Structures are given as C-alpha cells and as structure tokens.
Amino acid sequence: INRETLSKTTEINNSKLFVLGTDTLIRGKNSGIIFEKPADKADAIQMLKKISREEIEIVTGHALDIYHDDKKIEENWLSISTAHFSIPDHLLESYLAHTPAALFACGACVIENLGMIFLKEFNGSLSGALGIDMYELVSKLESHGFKL
C-alpha cells in the first residue's frame, strides 16, 4: 500500500485501515513432519494415514498491519492448537470424495463440516485452526480503537 492510496482510503472512510495476512501449517507433534498441501489424491491419502496415527499441531501465523495518521503499527502472533484427527483407512476415499477442499489444505486435513466426525480431540482456538484467530484479532483491533 503506497501513501497516496492510503491517504485517499483514509480520507474516504475517515477511519483507520487494517490489513491482515494469515497462513496455517500442520505439524506432527511426535514426528515433527510438516504437512504441506497434497500434490494429488494419492498424496492426500498418505498424509491422512500418517496424521491419523499421531496428535497434530495446527499453527496459524497472523500479520496485522494497522494504518492511521501516516503511521503503521505491526502486530504479529501465532495461534497454536492441538488435535487428533483420525480417519479409518476404509473411509479415506469417501472423506476425500465429499471434502474436495482437502486437496487444497495442509495435510489434506479439513476439520470443519464432514471432517468434524473424525476430530477425536481438539485443544485451542478453533477459529485459529480454521485460519484466523478471531478472538485475538478482535482483541487487538479493539486495543487500537476499532469498534465492533
């Protein structure tokens, strides 16, 4: 964002502006394996078999930039949750057929919707595990004068 665009946006909205970027990864808690997005369906099946055997950490990094009065304030934080996501081998094909988003998710692991039935345990911020820790985001925005 350049200053001219920021200035015009601030004048139009007469308010503060924020930009948020996030990214999530999944790591095997015991193995240390970082599960990226699967290359294809066969890769997804192999990842899910490994994930089903151990507890995972779901780590979402947040980068929040707040612009106001020609100032930029940066807030960065991690949201770390743990989960046991276990899909029996005989249900892997069905899970992938009914959860096409799994082929675009780290570890092919989609814990919402159908994925909820395979979520044996979960500890942490659910919204953080899904991509944005909403509680922390709202708290940080409020601390900088944003109103809900």
* Residue type (1 letter), 44: A
Query: Could you tell me what percentage of the chain is helix, strand and coil, using 3-state DSSP and rounding each to the nearest 5?
Result: 40, 30, 25
How far apart CA 26 and CA 31 sit, in angstroms, is 12
Look at residues 87, 91, 105 and name the one whose alpha carbon lies nearest to residue 43: 105
- Catalytic choice (23, 40, 69, 133): 23
Catalytic annotation on 70? no
**Residues annotated catalytic, as ranges:** 23
